[in-house]
Every structure is written in structure tokens, then in C-alpha cells.
Structure 1
Amino acid sequence: MSVLLASVHRLPGIPGLPDGIGPNREPAVVTDASHAPSPTASPTRRSAADPTSVPESGPGTFTVATAGADNTDAGRPYRVEVEDGTGVDPDEAAAQIAAILNHDQGWSRGGVAFRRVADSSATLVIRIATPDTADAICATGGLDTGGELNCRVGGTVAVNLKRWQLGSPEFDGPPEEYRALIINHEVGHWLGYDHRGCPGPGEPAPVMMQQIKGLDGCVSNAWPYAPDGTFHDGPEVP
């Protein structure tokens, strides 16, 4: 089926996939199997939410979150959009994302300031979309996300609605915490961070680790920083 990407709420002059920015580099496309369920995973760790309640497709139009928009010049401007018909309230989702980005263990702990906007000043757009629409967004970067993965293409983060609502059977925590991993991981790529491996048995998995592929002795973790401010890092992944 054809999936429209143009938003009825899209502001003039803003392409569907704006160019990304980052202090280190500007990788064009990143997709992460850390946000997809494993076909062999145990169902005991899956959210109790009914997966049939998550629509597979939508109209491809988005509503921009407007509550709490900040018109100052402080911080990196980002915009939150939710696909119409998903049942997710854009302003509520935006409030959750803001809490994640500004959490004392989030990227702000490292000195990155974020500012939520509702206009064309956004250099990062976070879109919560049905699996089909997320696939279409990711396909613009040549990715086959199979209705399961999130991705980051340029300055757009596509959050698969299924992952947002249900979490992942491989993550040892509730969907609400897994949302933090989705946002922190994908925004981490936008900031210029690459994938990392497990630093050692029993250690928290770096947020940039593809945790769904196996923890290698680490434990699930959704945050870039520890409560004491230590950055959760690990070896580079070839």
C-alpha cells in the first residue's frame, strides 16, 4: 500500500526529512535492531498490552505537539509529531520525550540542552508512527525495517508505534522505560555516537549498545549516564 509522508500539519519550507546535525559527524542513516523483538524471545517479558490494539498502518499524516513549546534561543530545537489515528496524544508523548531528554541520567547530564518547538526551527524531528509509516520513512534511507525497527534518517527519528506501546521482549523493564532507550539511543546517533559493546559482565549496557542482539553479560539499561554522572560506555563495535 502507498503510505503518505506529507503531514497535514507540516510547516512551510520544512522537508519531510530535514538534515541532521551532530558535534562529531553527520551519519546519514542509522537503524537499530536493539528496538525489535527477537522471534525466539520468551514472551514472559513482553508488555501485557494487547499487540492487536496497535494499528499496523495509518494515514501518514502527523499532528505536531504544541503544548510546552519554547520560543527562546537556548538549546537544540526539536519537534515531536505523532501519526494521526494511533491513539497516542501528541502533547502527552512530547512531555514524556522531554522528560527523557532532560532526565538527570539523560543526554542533558553531559551538557546537551534541548528545546521543544512546534515550528520550522526544529533541527530534529521525532515522529511516532505506525509500523507501515515508520517503514516508509526509514525506506527513504534505503532501510528495510520490517515493521519492527526504529531508525534515524538525517534529522528525523522514526519511532515504531509497536515499540513505543509494547516495548521489547528482550528488554528487562516496562514499556515506559524502554521508551527511554528508544529516544536515548536514536538521539545519541543524532548527536554523533556510534554503537558500543558490553564493557564487562554485570555492568549496565551502554545506551548505544544494540541490546536486543544480546547483552554479552551486561544488564539492560536505558540511560546514557549513571546516577553519579558516569557515562555508560563500552568498546567500539566494528
Structure 2
Amino acid sequence: MFAAVAVPAVLVGAGVFLAPHWAGGDGAPASAADRPAPSARTPSKAAAKPSPDPKPSRSPRPSRSPKPSPSPARVHVPASGPGTFTVARAGAPGGKYAYRVEVEDGSGVEPDEAAARIAAVLAAPRGWAHGGERSFRRVSSGPAGLVVRIATPATTDRICGEGGMNTRGEVNCRINEKVMVNLKRWQTGSPEFDGPLDEYRALIINHEVGHWLGRGHETCPGKGRPAPAMMQQIYGLKGCVANAWPYAENGTYLGGPAVP
């Protein structure tokens, strides 16, 4: 989950499978470990064995705006992939938090296009940037305290499972510095989220990066109010209105009661 854009019971088909509160759109329990990880090279497996060095970024080429998201009904989502990743090229210099975007080979997602969407979410005033409170810079090599990976359901399950998370082929997770974005959610959204696909992608990033920043799960603050970005919205909105962003346009934090 919106994994919530640090969400979810796990969806199976059109139904909802009730799972522990930590196994949803992020798959990760909220704990003291949910804080920015120290900068370090990305391991392939969570605390298991080092990953191969990222593939060299492609030769620089003119930047391009992300294409409109394809209709989810027309997108083929492979259930599994090779477990190897292509690294998106670096973004503009500057920014406090270095992060890297990696896309599993054969997923059908173009790394630089996905990275452009993620960069827009991280820089949005209603996101965790919050009018300059935080800043992010995308790197293609070297240390990165945050790594966003878009991976097939099987690869997501494998990597999340190494950290004790059960994502059941459906949802996302956050383990240490790695945010694992399930390709199924990235490409098809969630039936619980009433909004454009790009908004749901923002919810995935905002939710999982929120966990990385130390935020725990929250729930609906009241009927008709915006669902917190840190709510596991894929499990149901509980009377709230679907929302991808941690902050309102006036800068107010859109939170809710903490989930134990």
C-alpha cells in the first residue's frame, strides 16, 4: 500500500482476506525500527546476503514527463520475475535523503518513468516534503538510505518474507531501507481506493515512506473525513474517504487514531 502511499487485510480477487494489522499494504509491523535507515549499499535480501551491485544507469538522455497511467484492465501483471533489477538513472542533485529506484526486469515497467512518478510524490507539498520540511534526491549508485523497488508479486513475497512479512502475492512491505512495491498494486490499484491510479500509487509511496520515517499505522478519524495516508486503506475505509496524502492543502496533517 499509498503500501497504506509505511497497508492493509489482504485482497484476494475481489474479496478481502482479514490478516494481522501489519500484513497489509505494507506488510511490515510498525516498530521502533521504522525510521530512516542509515545510508548503506542496498542488500538484495533483508539481512541475508549482499545483493549484486546495481546495474549501471543508462546513458543520460533528456528528461521526460511520466506518460498517463494505462488503464488497469489492459495491463498484464506477470506473477513472477527473475529477481534482478534495473536501476533508474539519478535525478537532480540536492536533497537530504538519498534514495534509489529499482524495477524488476521483465515487469513491463520502465524504470525512469516509474522513478519520475515517485520523485513527484516525494517532492509534493502535500507529501512528506511538506513544504520543504524534508527533501529527497535520487541516486543511481553509491549509498542510499532508502531504496524503492517495484517487483512482481512472487519476488515481493520472497523479499518481504525474508523480513518476516506475509504479503500473500497482493501487497507491499517495508523492511529496513527497502520499500517493496508489489507490481500488482502499482499497475492495478486497489478496489477500495476511489480515485485515479496515479493517486493510489502516491498512497503506496506515502504510506511506505511514512513507515521508513518512523510513522505507525493510523485508522479513520471519523465518517466522511479523509483517510490517513498511514491507514491501511486496502482493508477498507471504515467510513472515511480515500486519500493519498499525509497533509491537506493548508498544511494540516491528515492523521487518525494510532493502531496498536
Q: TM-score, normalised by structure 2?
A: 0.73
Q: Give 1:68 deviation, angstroms.
A: 2.0
Q: Measured at CA, do residues 113 and 67 of structure 1 come closer, stay the same or move farther in structure 2, by a change above 3 Å?
A: closer
Cα pair distance change 1:102/1:175, threshold 3 Å: same
Distance in 1 of aligned mates of 2:259 and 2:8: 14
Larger fraction in helix? 1
**Alignment map for 1:192-203 (pairs within 5 Å):** 192-203=214-225
CA distance in 1, matches of 2:252, 2:10: 24
Which residue matches 2:80?
Answer: 57
- SS of the counterpart of 1:120? coil
Name stretches of at least 5 consecutive residues in structure 1 with no aligned partner: 1-30, 42-46
Q: Is the 8 A contact 1:35 1:150 kept in 2?
A: no
CA distance in 1, matches of 2:209, 2:10: 14
Of structures 1 and 2, the one scoring higher in RCO (CA 8 A, sep 6+) is 2
Deviations 1:169-215 (A, max 9, x none): 11011211100000000000000000011111111011001112222
Paired residues, number: 201
TM value normalised by structure 1: 0.79
Q: Secondary structure at the match of 1:50?
A: helix
Does structure 1 retain, via aligned residues, the 8 Å contact 2:72–2:189? no
- Equivalent residues of 2:192, 2:237 under 8 A apart: no
The offset of 1:50, in angstroms, is 3.3
Unaligned runs of 5+ in 2: 1-5, 17-69
1:20 aligned residue: none
Provide the rounded CA distance (Å) in 2 between the counterparts of 1:200 and 1:34.
20
**Gap change, CA 1:38 and 1:58, over 3 Å in 2:** closer
Between the aligned partners of 1:52 and 1:66, the Cα distance in structure 2 is 24
Equivalences for residues 1-238 of structure 1 within 5 A: 32-33=7-8, 36=11, 39-40=14-15, 48-50=71-73, 53-68=76-91, 70=93, 72=94, 74-109=95-130, 111-238=133-260
